Amino acid sequence: MNNILLYLIPISLCLGGVGLAAFLWSLKDGQYDDLRGANERIVFDEDEPLPDRHNPES
């Protein structure tokens, strides 16, 4: 039983850590800056790709 715990606990911690890292990344990326805008943008029917946030030229 101890053996299986040795695998499971690191795995669960890693999965949790991945979730945490993903959240921190999305925060840094500005995904929570405009929640109301994101609501609306999902229905856009763009012919061309959406402007890239980091480089609006495209």
Partner 1 sequence: MGKPLPKRDGQPEVPVPSFADGGISAEELILSSQSLSEGLLQTTIFIPDMHCGGCIQKVERGLGALDGVEGARVNLSTKRAIVKWKKSDRPLPLLETLRDLGFNASLVAPETGAKNRTMTELVRALAVAGFGASNIMLLSVSIWSGAEPAMRDLFHWISALIALPVLAYSGRVFFRSAWGVLKHGKTNMDVPISIGVLLAFGLSFFDTIKGTEHAYFDAAVMLLFFLLIGRTLDHMMRERARVAVKNLMRLAARSAQVLHDDGSHEYVSVSKIQKNMRIGLAVGERVPVDGIVDEGQSDFDCSLVTGESVPQPKLVGALLQAGTLNLTSPVVIRATATEDQSFLAQMTRLLEAAEMGRSGYRRIADRAASLYAPFVHTAAFLGFLVWLFVTGDFHQSLTIAVAVLIITCPCALGLAVPMVQIVAARRLFEKMILIKDGSVLEKLCDIDSIVFDKTGTLTLGKPELSNKYDVKPLHLSVAAAMAKYSRHPFAQAIVAANDSQGEDAIAFTAFTEIAGFGLEATSGDDIFRLGRTEWALGKEDGLDEIGAGSKTILTKNGVLLDVFRFSEVIRPGVRELIRKLTRSGLEICILSGDDYGAVEKLATELNVSRFEANMHPKDKVDFLNAMTARGRKVLMVGDGLNDVPALATAHVSMVPGNAADIGRDAADIVFLDKSLEAVSHILNISHRANSLIQQNFGFAIVYNVVALPFAFFGIVTPLVAAVAMSASSILVVANALRLGRKAASGHIVSSTSVKNSNALAMKREGVL
Which residues are near partner 1 by CB under 8 A? 2, 5, 9, 12-13, 16-17, 19-20, 23-24, 27-28, 33-37, 39-41, 43-44, 51, 53, 56-57
Q: How far apart are CA 51 and CA 31, in angstroms?
A: 15
C-alpha pair distances (Å), 18 with each of 4, 11, 15, 23, 27: 21, 10, 5, 9, 14
CB 7 to partner 1: min, Å: 13
CB 14 to partner 1: min, Å: 11
CB 16 to partner 1: min, Å: 6
Rg (CA), the chain: 19
